[in-house]
Amino acid sequence: MRRGPGRLEREILQILTASADPLTPGEVRNRLDQDLAYTTVMTVLSRLADKGGAVRTPQGRGYAYAAVTDPAAQVAAAMHRAMAGNDHAAVLARFVRALSPDDEQVLSRLLNQP
C-alpha cells in the first residue's frame, strides 16, 4: 500500500510528538503500522530535522530524534537553514536593517543578556 505525499512524514512526526523521549530510527520504525526499510525511516527523520520539524541528538553511533513543537524553534531552524552557505554577516546585517524599532530593542536586550 502506497502512502500519499507527506503522509509518512506526518505519521513519524506524530510518533515523535507522542514520545516523552527522543527516538532512534529503529524505535520509530517499530512503532509504525507498516513495515518499512530502516533507511526509509532514517531518511524521513533526517529530512524532518533539516526542515526544523525535529531535532537530532547523538546517541551511540547514530542519532535520536524528537519533535519540535515550539513554533519559535521551527522558525529559528528555518533561519539557520536559510543562512547555510551564505555570508552570515551580510544576511544578519540585512535582517537587522529590516527590523522594526520594537524588534531591534528585543534583539538588543537578548544580545546583552549574560
Please state, in angstroms and rounded to a whole number, the distance separating the CA atoms of residues 32 and 86: 38
Candidates 16, 111, 2, 8; CA nearest to 63 is 16
Class at the top of the CATH hierarchy for domain 7-67: mainly alpha
Give the global pTM: 0.65
Residue 3 has pLDDT above 60, yes or no: no
pLDDT digit string, tens, across residues 29-74 = 999 988 899 999 999 999 999 888 899 999 999 999 999 888 887 7
| Domain ranges across the chain | 7-67, 71-111
What local confidence, expressed as pLDDT, does residue 71 receive? 82
pLDDT at 4: 60
Taking all residues of the chain, what is their mean pLDDT, rounded to a whole number?
A: 89
